[in-house]
C-alpha cells in the first residue's frame, strides 16, 4: 500500500454562526481506500464535507486538513477542486438554462486551467458516458432542472467522472433515493473508484454500504470520531443505532 496519505485531517474544530460543530476530528485516508463516516443527525457529518470544500459559512477554529500534503485551509474552493478534491452534495441545486454539457465543459476547463477544445472534451464526455451507461440526451438537459433524485445523483457521478478527482467526498448521496436509483449510483461509484483515488462516504444509514463496500467505518458523534472499525461496524449501527455512542459522548462532554 502507498504509505503517503491522500487526505489528512488533524484535530479539526469548526463552527457555524458561533456554534462549534466539529470538536477535534482526526482522520487519515490513503489512495485506494474507501472510508465511511456514519452518525446521527447533528453530529457534524455535513459540516465536515462543507469545511473540506471551503464553504465560507463555516469557520475553522483549530486543527487542519491536507490533501496530497498541501493545506486545504489555505486554498479557495476552486483551488481545492483543481488540487483534486470533489464533493457530491446531499441536495444538488438546479441551474435552469444551463445545459449539463456546457456546465461540464466549463468545469473541466476550470479544473485543468485551460480552455479545453470542444473535440477533446467531446471525446472525454463520450468515454465517461459510455463507462457510466448514461444516455446521450441526458447531457443536453438543464443542470438538475426537473431531475428526479436519482437523475441528480447520476449527474454528479458524471461530474466526478469528468473531473477525475484524487479525493471524492459523497455527502449523504443515498438521501431520498429509491432502491433502483441507489443501485445505479453505487454502480457509478464502484466504476469510478481506482487505486489512486480516495473515497469518503458520509451517510446516516447502512444501505449505501451494502453496494459500495468500505474498508473502514467511523462513528461520528458530537463532532468527533468516537469509534472506527471495518464494515461490520456499519451493521452494528444498523442493528443498535447510535444511542450508546451518544450517551457516552454526553457523559464525557
Full 3-state SS string of 4-47: CCCEEEEEEEEEECCEEEEEEEEEEECCCCEEEEECCCCCCHHH
- Does residue 1 register a pLDDT over 70? no
CATH number of the structural domain spanning residue 193: 3.40.50.300
CA distances in angstroms from 66 to 42, 85, 153, 223, listed in the order given = 24, 11, 27, 19
CA 122 – CA 99 distance, rounded (Å):
14
The percent of residues above 70 in pLDDT, for the chain, comes to 99
In a domain, 138, yes or no: no
Q: What angle do CA 96, 100, 101 make, to 5 degrees?
A: 135
- Kind of pairing between the strands at 198-203 and 34-38: parallel
In a domain, 176, yes or no: yes
In a domain, 229, yes or no: yes
Contacts of 204 (CB under 8 A, 6+ apart): 38, 39, 40, 41, 45, 172, 175
- Domain boundaries, position 182: 7-91+166-252
Summarize the confidence of residues 182-202 as an average pLDDT.
93
The pLDDT tens digits of the residues spanning 2-34 come to 478 999 999 999 999 999 999 999 999 999 999
In a domain, 12, yes or no: yes
In a domain, 148, yes or no: no
Reported pTM: 0.93
In a domain, 196, yes or no: yes
The pLDDT tens digits of the residues spanning 149-158 come to 889 988 999 9
Cell of 122: 467531446
Q: Collapse the DSSP code of 221 into the 3-class scheme (helix H, G, I; strand E, B; otherwise coil) and give the result.
A: strand
**What is the number of domains present in the chain?**
1
Determine the angle formed by the axes of helices 149-163 and 118-132, rounding to 10 degrees.
130
In a domain, 18, yes or no: yes
Amino acid at each position: 500500500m502507498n504509505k503517503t496519505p491522500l487526505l489528512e485531517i488533524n484535530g479539526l474544530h469548526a463552527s457555524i454562526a458561533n456554534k462549534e460543530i466539529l470538536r477535534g476530528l482526526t482522520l487519515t485516508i490513503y489512495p485506494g481506500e474507501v472510508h465511511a463516516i456514519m452518525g446521527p443527525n447533528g453530529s457534524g457529518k455535513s459540516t465536515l464535507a462543507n469545511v473540506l470544500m471551503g464553504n465560507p459559512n463555516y469557520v475553522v477554529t483549530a486543527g487542519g486538513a491536507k490533501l496530497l500534503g498541501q493545506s486545504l485551509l489555505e486554498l479557495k474552493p476552486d483551488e481545492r477542486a483543481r488540487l483534486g478534491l470533489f464533493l457530491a452534495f446531499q441536495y444538488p441545486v438546479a441551474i435552469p438554462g444551463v445545459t449539463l454539457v456546457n456546465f461540464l465543459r466549463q468545469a473541466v476547463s476550470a479544473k485543468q486551467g485551460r480552455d479545453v477544445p470542444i473535440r477533446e472534451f467531446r471525446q472525454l464526455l463520450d468515454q465517461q458516458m459510455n463507462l457510466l451507461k448514461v444516455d446521450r440526451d441526458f447531457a443536453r438537459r438543464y443542470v438538475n432542472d426537473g431531475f428526479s433524485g436519482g437523475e441528480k445523483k447520476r449527474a454528479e457521478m458524471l461530474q466526478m467522472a469528468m473531473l477525475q478527482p484524487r479525493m471524492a467526498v459523497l455527502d449523504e448521496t443515498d438521501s431520498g433515493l429509491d432502491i433502483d436509483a441507489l443501485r445505479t449510483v453505487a454502480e457509478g461509484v464502484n466504476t469510478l473508484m481506482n487505486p489512486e483515488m480516495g473515497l469518503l462516504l458520509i451517510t446516516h444509514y447502512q444501505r449505501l454500504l451494502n453496494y459500495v463496500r468500505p474498508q473502514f467505518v467511523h462513528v461520528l458523534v458530537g463532532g468527533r470520531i468516537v469509534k472506527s472499525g471495518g464494515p461490520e461496524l456499519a451493521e452494528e449501527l444498523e442493528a443498535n443505532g447510535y444511542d450508546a455512542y451518544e450517551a457516552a459522548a454526553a457523559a464525557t462532554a
